[in-house]
Structure 1
């Protein structure tokens, strides 16, 4: 398929404004890969970006959960990456500098060149913090085309993996990183707080890691029920349970959770995660709450006297490989999560659907080919 002269893009020109625009598509440089986007998922982070809760990246082309195929490729990139036109790929949102101490240690999600306190003019996260006014402007996945630069980490996707499953690779990578941060071992009892897309994928990742019993806690019945098909042994509706902590313990056979992973992105869920884990247990906070959200805990009762480990898990570094492998094995009914697939031009409708809290919505993806 020939590359067109222009690409459609969804742009956030300013806070709370969604627009459809076009932009010129240049030929890739020697180290670049031009990606034809086939699916892009809508993430809660995108809603925070639109609301202005994450910095001031405007005008921004959002979309970091994208997958697609190689549309054109630079001469060096083709050789260095062993990629050809038409190859199916996933591109990580993080553009590591590969030189700082964090990148060299494998924690490229903490790249020093993406630290807001460093005072650099742009960030290094595709679809999140690189303004459209930078360079060619093809930095986000809510578009027909995106340019992956030399720093981009690109993964091949299996030829038989559907786009509706493949679009989950980034949130599944986030889930796998959270499970790794929690140190889930065979035989562990695990509670996942927040049955959104990342929470449901965290259930599948924890099951893959060997968890003995998994309980999902949340407040929306329509989200809790699918958790059972993704590997949960039981679910607890925190809103309906008289004593949520006791209900989770009962679901775990009377014991506290060895590990609790929070994915909801609200402080109350983070508080629940801390209080649901057993003494000496491990808590991972993986949900983004937006700027200036505050978490209140009891220093002694919640933390000190229980000597629990509380670890944040930021983004998806190191998670793409196990995520792609899990999707390829079909360990869960992944495509079931993508409840709506809309054309690119209907991004505003997609955001309205999410805001409506329609019970039928779990994950919405945009298809830029429509």
Structure 2
């Protein structure tokens, strides 16, 4: 591989965005280098920039990336069955594969760290691996990404366009939430939060066999879109006096499973009131480190024996995500409403932050 450099977006410190370049090394025998084609912009990226999620600076952000094999070591090529040019998705977690959590399949909770290499517990591309950890290619807002031996790599079908493929990680997050809620054929499901992941959860719940789905939110255009992603009914929580009663009317009773993805404490407090006795509540929205949530301990939980199940990241979700995007039974492509080149990341952030121009999902295009 000839010496090459990679363009990168870097957060050198809180609130600051810079464009930089980094050298791309030859991959070791067990490693590969990805050429990034698309990376989705997530609200988490904006929270990282503002310092709401720890202090990972300097950071190359981006965890919703897809691309192709740029260079690959001999051992990695044999073990993974991949070659240069193959289309791939790489999971955002870098599990150690050896700790107790990894061995039980919950690699999103990996306990291993590597202080000597500057790598933290729970290594996540674009979130908590600083650019100072060699070779500095740990985020998707870049032309190239380092893929070590422990990374989980999936082949992408040629039939999935790049813009749609950029949804593979949020769809995987959606399937993780649905799996945590043990959604089964015949279940009724209430979803709070019709953002991109909430819409995808609606589709994932129907794929898993949910008999009826209701979406709860505050924006009519998003609620209407939810119907195209499998929701049978919607509730605008600002326009009804009693959300709980509206859910009962929509589902014929309280929900078997409630999935919260709004990422605000009030939505999580509401979620436990919408589940039937013995039901399941999945809390998938990140509210921020300083957020506290209040439940009625006896009234909402104890006497109703509700299962409250946090859902963190996307472990186990990539396989059904790729299958769903390949099946194309829902209008996934319509979610990607805005495309920006890497150099316009600040403009992209302004659009996402202000929800301008009816943005649903924005992606950075590294190469068409």
TM-score after normalising by structure 2: 0.96
1:30 aligns with 2:29: yes
| Structure 1 residues without counterparts, runs of 5 or longer | none
Shift of 1:121: 4.9
Q: Secondary structure, in 3 states, of the residue corresponding to 2:272? A: helix
Q: What is the aligned counterpart of 1:333 among 318, 331, 343?
A: 331
1:261 aligns with 2:259: yes
Give structure 1 regions of 4+ aligned residues with deviation exceeding 4 angstroms.
119-123
Shift of 1:243: 1.1
Q: Secondary structure, in 3 states, of the residue corresponding to 2:125? A: coil
Shift of 1:368: 1.3
Q: Given that residues 257 and 278 in structure 1 are in contact (C-alpha distance below 8 angstroms), is that contact kept between their aligned partners in structure 2?
A: yes
CA distance in structure 1 between the partners assigned to 2:312 and 2:81 by the alignment: 30
Q: Given that residues 113 and 120 in structure 1 are in contact (C-alpha distance below 8 angstroms), is that contact kept between their aligned partners in structure 2?
A: no
Are the structure 2 counterparts of residues 229 and 73 from structure 1 closer, same or farther at C-alpha, using a change threshold of 3 Å?
same
Question: Which residue is 2:157 aligned to?
Answer: 158
Question: Which residue is 1:168 aligned to?
Answer: 167
Question: Which residue is 1:136 aligned to?
Answer: 135
1:274 aligns with 2:249: no
Greater Cα shift, 316-325 or 40-49: 40-49
CA distance in structure 2 between the partners assigned to 1:58 and 1:276 by the alignment: 40
Matches within 5 A, 1:1-12: 5-12=4-11
Q: What is the aligned counterpart of 1:317 among 310, 315, 318?
A: 315
Q: Deviations over 1:242-290 (max 9, x none)?
A: 111111111113x110000011111111112111111211000011112
Q: Deviations over 1:223-250 (max 9, x none)?
A: 2111000010011111111111111111
Q: Given that residues 221 and 237 in structure 1 are in contact (C-alpha distance below 8 angstroms), is that contact kept between their aligned partners in structure 2?
A: yes
CA distance in structure 2 between the partners assigned to 1:11 and 1:275 by the alignment: 42
Question: Which residue is 1:213 aligned to?
Answer: 212
Question: Which residue is 1:181 aligned to?
Answer: 180
Matches within 5 A, 1:1-370: 5-113=4-112, 121=120, 123-253=122-252, 255-358=253-356, 360-369=358-367
Q: Secondary structure, in 3 states, of the residue corresponding to 2:9? A: strand
Q: Given that residues 122 and 130 in structure 1 are in contact (C-alpha distance below 8 angstroms), is that contact kept between their aligned partners in structure 2?
A: no
CA distance in structure 1 between the partners assigned to 2:139 and 2:167 by the alignment: 17
| Number of aligned residue pairs | 366
| Structure 2 residues without counterparts, runs of 5 or longer | none
Are the structure 2 counterparts of residues 36 and 303 from structure 1 closer, same or farther at C-alpha, using a change threshold of 3 Å?
same
Shift of 1:44: 1.5
Q: Given that residues 119 and 133 in structure 2 are in contact (C-alpha distance below 8 angstroms), is that contact kept between their aligned partners in structure 1?
A: no
Shift of 1:4: 6.3
CA distance in structure 2 between the partners assigned to 1:35 and 1:320 by the alignment: 17
CA distance in structure 1 between the partners assigned to 2:342 and 2:221 by the alignment: 26
CA distance in structure 2 between the partners assigned to 1:295 and 1:162 by the alignment: 40
Shift of 1:53: 1.2
Q: Deviations over 1:47-103 (max 9, x none)?
A: 111111111100000001000000111111111111010000000011111111110
Q: Deviations over 1:121-144 (max 9, x none)?
A: 565111111000110100000011
Q: Deviations over 1:287-316 (max 9, x none)?
A: 111211111111111111221110001110
Q: Given that residues 110 and 122 in structure 2 are in contact (C-alpha distance below 8 angstroms), is that contact kept between their aligned partners in structure 1?
A: no
CA RMSD of aligned residues (A): 1.7
Q: Given that residues 103 and 111 in structure 1 are in contact (C-alpha distance below 8 angstroms), is that contact kept between their aligned partners in structure 2?
A: yes
Shift of 1:20: 1.1
Q: Deviations over 1:200-228 (max 9, x none)?
A: 11001000000000000011222211100
